[in-house]
Amino acid sequence: MSLRWVFRGGVAAPHRKNTYESESSVINTPEKVIIPMVQHIGAPCTPTVKQGDEVKVGQIIGNSEAYVSAPIHSSVSGTVTRVEPMLYASGKLVMSVEIKTDGKQEVYDGISPPEVKNRDDFLKAIRNSGLVGLGGAGFPTHVKLNPPKDKEIDCLIINGAECEPYITSDYREMVENPSSVINGVKLVLDYLNIPKAIIGIEDNKPNAVRLLTELAASDKRISVQSLRSRYPQGAEKTLIYTVTGRKVPSGKLPADVGCIVLNVNTVSFIASYIETGMPLVKRRVTVDGPVVNQPKNVVAPIGTSLQDLFDFCGGFKSTPYKVLMGGPMMGIAQYSLETSVIKNTNAILAFDRKEGDLPSEWPCIRCGRCIEACPMNLMPLEINRLVMANKTDELERYHILDCIECGSCSFSCPSKRHLVQSIRIGKDAVRRVKVNRN
Amino acid sequence: MENRLYVCSSPHLRDNVTTQRIMLDVIIALLPAAAAGIVYFGLRSAIIIVTTVAASVLTEYLMRKGLKREQTISDLSAVVTGLLLALNLPPSIPVWIAVVGAVIATGLIKQLFGGLGQNFMNPALGARVILVVAWAKQMTTWTEPFVDTVAGATPLGLLDATATATPIGAAYSYMDMFLGRTPGCIGETSALAILLGFVYLLFRKVISWHIPVLFTGTVAVLTWILGPEGLFTGDPLYHVLAGGLLLGAVFMATDYVTCPMTRKGIIIYAAGCGILTTLFRLYGNMPEGVSFAIVLMNVVTPLIDRYTIPVAFGGEKHVE
């Protein structure tokens, strides 16, 4: 193995990958789905259907003219019952389409493998597929794959780190569909003319490393790297640094250091879409947490409610106190079980009061553990102090905008201070000041 | 809306480490030094230790009550302060002076400035410095180990008085000093006991090696260079083992609240402690200078922190 770079900081978060061996099971088609028109970073979609319309699987129900956006498809066949703002995973009300399913799951007529001859066809196909980053923030993939002309991309990085506790959705893709992952990588390398790809996988997933290494052996451009299991190994900047030694400059994008990073599920979906033409209408979700009866990996239509998913996993052992969308380090706490799975939902977790309660804060003792833990080399305790004192103008001295909100600082704090929370508040304040200044 | 879900900002997972546990670890790490003090200087040391701990906790309790603040004695930091103060006092100190010290440490230096995390210098050391100035005689009256008689001088005092070239022929051997069979403060004489505590703290990851090693290293190098008979004639080992250097470097200079937090800051701070200690010891009018050195560096810590903000990941080329 070539020279290895070790990112600084991070924490030894517990793995808790209870669902490693849980082969994906497909949920019974729910009675209804709620599909929000915001499932990605960028412009929201506008509904293209109205109440009473009949829709089929794969039919477009929301679209946008904006470049940074991705169309949204119906994940079921049935009848549109409501088109109005509904509760969204972030806690806001967002325009959504509710569809009562007919249980037939009939496929839309227009579904056929796309014709792809060149780079432009490829990017267009990916946009049409509705694909967004399936691992994290949900950035439209066709935009990611089309960096500005002056940025030469020489390395495609496939993120199979999956460093968040509990989540095994990426792992299951790598062991259940390894050839699809590799095929997706080859397609991206071919059409975008990128010379090499590195698949990075944390070393707590030796099966995935072995399977993909075997399959990648046939293509000299593709290599697999086993990575140290340390949170946040899978954060974009730390991953790029670990596999290439390149540091994405503050405020810049991976393309600025010649890299594109795609999640394993994202790249695998590219292969399946090019083969079948079925847009992004379902995904694998890890359902886990101490109060879930049968933790599982579930393949569910986009728009399936959290309640339906938990029911499919045997319901709750006891009343859930806190429910998360995403992992425990960066996931979003949910207001209701009515909210639905969206394109980038990789896990839903339910906790009891013991694990879910927010510990109360003690005074900072300046132990410096948050500084040691910060992969971005920041001083979270100082930022926390300044935010609490409303000293917004001093925050940029402490590089607040470089925070990736990975949660390592709060995790490691012996005084249980709400560091990330205050940093988020501080970031907002700094951005507001910047907007007002301009 | 029964069954409401609890919503808060991520992360939703926290490490097991708590402030209380860290304080408990420091207390455990101080036990060998305390035990050595009791073995060498008798029951009187135990009385001083119990007195300062009790006075420190009581002061904190009453201050919090009087200031109408949340009670914090359960965080154990007052116990640490009391214990550290006792280990920095001579065994023969009058009990009432020890109590005054504990009140100064916990009441004045810690609680009046806002309690845990807000003190501008290490409370125990700050109190010690005040006691040394206020009751110079009592604070420098030493007891011979094992026998309850007034001793002539500590190893450092000896060095100061005679300024002999090699103190090895003097009253105390390296082995005496390593084990702690010398006059001195209750917890400072036994290098062995302090090092046991150091290893425990390292093992529990409560502190890192940087400050203790850089601090003592600086003193060792400087005392060697600035020897009594010209350059490079000093006895670094004697200086490391004598006096309160090890106790200070391991337990006091590493106090989280009053030391810098970044790598660069830590180097500046530890070197500063070492340089000041050496200057006070070699050229000051008192034999010992560790407490003064640390307290001074405590006070400049906010300044060091302000000028050692680390460059953010990927921020290297964006120097503004």
Determine whether the interchain pair A415/B6 forms a contact, defined as Cβ–Cβ distance below 8 Å: no
**Chain B contacts in chain A segment 377-436 (CB below 8 A):** 377-379, 381-382, 397-399, 402, 405, 407, 410-416, 418, 420-421, 424
* Residue A57 per-residue DSSP state: B
Query: Which chain B residue lies closest to A335 (C-alpha atoms)?
Result: B5
Q: What's the CA gap between A141 and A224, in Å, rounded?
A: 22
The domain ranges of chain B are 19-138, 157-189+203-307
> Of B3, B164, B185, B163, whose CA–CA distance to B88 is shortest?
B185
Residues A233 and A353: their CA atoms lie apart, in Å, by 29
* Chain B CB contacts of A353 below 8 Å: 6
Give the helix/strand (H/E) hosting B32: helix B19-41
CA dihedral B199, B124, B120, B219 (to 10 degrees): -50
Query: Which of A379, A397, A410 is the closest to B261 by Cβ?
Result: A379
- By the CB < 8 Å criterion, does B3 face chain A? yes
Nearest CA in chain B to A402: B312
Please state the ipTM of this predicted complex. Answer: 0.91
Distance from the Cα of A338 to chain B's closest Cα (Å) equals 12
Tokens representing A91 are 């806690």
Q: What mean pLDDT comes out for the span B56-61? A: 97
Say which range, A43-47, A84-88, B156-160, B172-176, has the weakest mean pLDDT: B156-160
B120's CB contacts (< 8 A; 6+ apart) are B109, B113, B258, B298, B299, B302
Q: From CA A267, how far away is CA A188, in angstroms rounded? A: 8
Q: If residue B297 lies in a helix (H) or strand (E), which one and from where to where?
A: helix B290-307
Q: What is the structure's pLDDT at B31?
A: 98
- Tell me whether residues B10 and A330 touch, CB distance under 8 A: yes
> What Cα–Cα distance (Å) separates residue B74 from each residue in A357, B20, B61?
21, 7, 10
Residue B115 C-alpha, separation from nearest chain A C-alpha, in angstroms: 9
Q: Which residue of B has its CA nearest to A320?
A: B5
Chain B residues touching A335 at Cβ < 8 A? 5, 7
Chain B residues with CB under 8 Å of A164 CB are: none
Contacting residues of B for A248, CB less than 8 Å apart: 314
Question: Within the 26-85 window of chain B, which residues sit less than 8 Å (CB to CB) from chain A?
Answer: 72, 75, 77
Q: What is the pLDDT of residue A212?
A: 97
Nearest CB partner across the interface for B7, out of A335, A413, A424: A335
For the segment A168-188, the average pLDDT, to the nearest whole number, is 97
pLDDT tens sequence across B255-311: 999 999 999 999 999 999 999 999 999 988 777 889 999 999 999 999 999 999 999
Residue B12 to residue A329, Cβ atoms within 8 A: yes
Name the pTM for this structure: 0.92
Residues 86-145 on B with a CB inside 8 Å of A are 115-118
Give the chain B residue whose CA is nearest to the CA of A246: B314
Q: Sketch out chain A's domains with CATH numbers.
A: 25-111+279-355 (3.10.20.600), 119-276 (3.40.50.11540), 369-437 (no CATH)
- Beta-strand pair A32-36/A46-47: unpaired
Q: Which two tokens stand for residue A169?
A: 């959705």
pLDDT (tens digit per residue) in A275-308: 999 999 999 999 999 999 999 999 999 999 999 9
Over residues B14-52, the pLDDT tens digits come to 999 999 999 999 999 999 999 999 999 999 999 999 999
β-strands A60-63, A72-73 pairing: antiparallel
Cα gap B235→B222, rounded to integer Å: 10
Burial label, A58 (beta-carbon count in 10 A; 0-12, 13-18, 19+)? buried
CA distances from A63 to A36, A39, A48, A70, A351 (A): 12, 11, 7, 7, 36
Asked whether the predicted pLDDT for residue A419 surpasses 70, the reply is: yes
Task: Show Cβ contacts of residue A312 under 8 Å, excluding neighbours closer than 6 positions.
Answer: A27, A28, A287, A296, A298, A300
> Closest-CA residue in chain B for A350?
B5
Q: What are phi and psi of B297, to 5 degrees?
A: -70, -35
pLDDT tops 90 at residue B173: no
Which residues, in sequence order, are bridge partners of residue A11? A231
In a 3-state reduction of DSSP, which class is residue A285? Answer: strand
pLDDT band for B170, please (50, 70, 90 cuts).
Answer: low
The answer to whether A241 and A7 have CB atoms below 8 angstroms apart is yes
Q: At B200, list the tokens.
A: 């425990």
Distance from CA of A23 to the nearest CA of B (A): 26
SS3 of residue B106 by DSSP: helix
